A and B are shown apart, each in its own frame.
Chain A
């Protein structure tokens, strides 16, 4: 085996084992086709473009984009579905906050003074949700990333770094899930069903804009209720995604409750703990439909 072949095989280790078992020999054959020069075979390395394409394929296969392939293990299909669901839940939370911000402005309660571009970037999740449903994934990721960029501004002041980590990491995790889960080959999100979800998030956002504490509490309550519905219906993907989502939101809430003595946060925290620990139904034997 030449050095070049060894390097290509090392690169392919980023792919899941089940995928390599099926495709590695075939792929190595393409990498090394027409490469007969001894010096080339001993001293060359995989190019940057090829490496990036394999890393992209690794994301797609680890998150089960090729779910209809016969050899995809059920747990990989679950993982992909849960990551996409978690990404959508993060976006729905963004829709909730963006709507509340709009209601604040319309109601004449500007809150903290903010420049115009800040207000525009805050609307990112609303735009992202709409364009995701219309199938424009890249644009959705750019729009969803706007508030994340906005939050990075806080890092310009190092004393806020710890607070930023606590309060922004949940959003960053769900944003990463959105980016990784909805790649080019991923199945399309169910637009009709998600429209209802988006409508619910907007309604809660209106409530949140009118009465901040009540809106946040209602959002927590809805999370717990939907978690319960998922349990009853045996929707393990949604149940798992909601558990992770609630666990992510718990971190800043617990800090607010115990350090700041915030009663609303404490109440919401209790609700979310309930959502996290609520048992999932046992997995059925068949994997969920990927498309």
Chain B
């Protein structure tokens, strides 16, 4: 699973979101490291919908513009769970290795 897909799934896990809200949520979740282009966002959404991990929700008109909401399916929740478990295992392994070298796992941000 790509980082972009992971972040979109995470954004949708909280509540159904429309496209622009997904872009903003991904930017916040990644602390500004990932800024989704519209073309990229829809590539990810198409694949998620095709794989049954996300689906269309309601539609709204906001300031004369169409907003279509997307939500996670049960399969999407399970896929996110599995990915979180995989990444957590990796983090635990890396943390143990670093601790063995006497280095702390998280570098100071200051």
Contacts and interface: CB of A to CB of B under 8 A. Distances in A.
* A interacts with B: yes
Interface of A: 23, 25-33, 49-50, 52-57, 60-61, 65-69, 184-185, 290-291
Given A66-B47, A67-B50, A185-B47, A53 B40 contact: yes
Contacts of A28: 65
Contacts of A60: 43, 46
B16 interface: no
Nearest to B2: A184
Interface in B6-56: 19-20, 23, 37-44, 46-47, 49-52
A27 B42 contact: yes
B62 to A, nearest CB: 8
A27 B51 contact: no
Contact of A68 (B51, B65, B66): B51
B18 to A, nearest CB: 8
Interface of B: 2, 19-20, 23, 37-44, 46-47, 49-52, 62, 65-68
B65 A54 contact: no
A27 B44 CA distance: 14
A32 B39 contact: no
Given A29-B67, A33-B20, A65 B43 contact: yes
A49 B23 CA distance: 15
A290 B39 contact: no
B46 A69 contact: yes
Given A65-B47, A68-B49, A26 B39 contact: no
A61 B39 CA distance: 11
Contacts of A65: 43, 46-47, 50
A290 B67 contact: no
A115 B46 CA distance: 46
Given A30-B23, A32-B65, A57 B42 contact: yes
A60 B42 CA distance: 10
B46 A25 contact: no
A252 B62 CA distance: 59
Contacts of B52: 68
Contact of A50 (B2, B38, B49, B67): B38
Nearest to A290: B50
B42 A69 contact: no
Contacts of A54: 37-39
B57 to A, nearest CB: 13
Contacts of B65: 25, 28-29, 32-33
Nearest to A50: B37
B46 A56 contact: no
Which of A30, A57, A61 has the most CB atoms of chain B within a 10 A radius of its CB?
A30
Contacts of B43: 53, 56-57, 60, 65, 184-185
B46 A66 contact: yes
Nearest to A34: B20
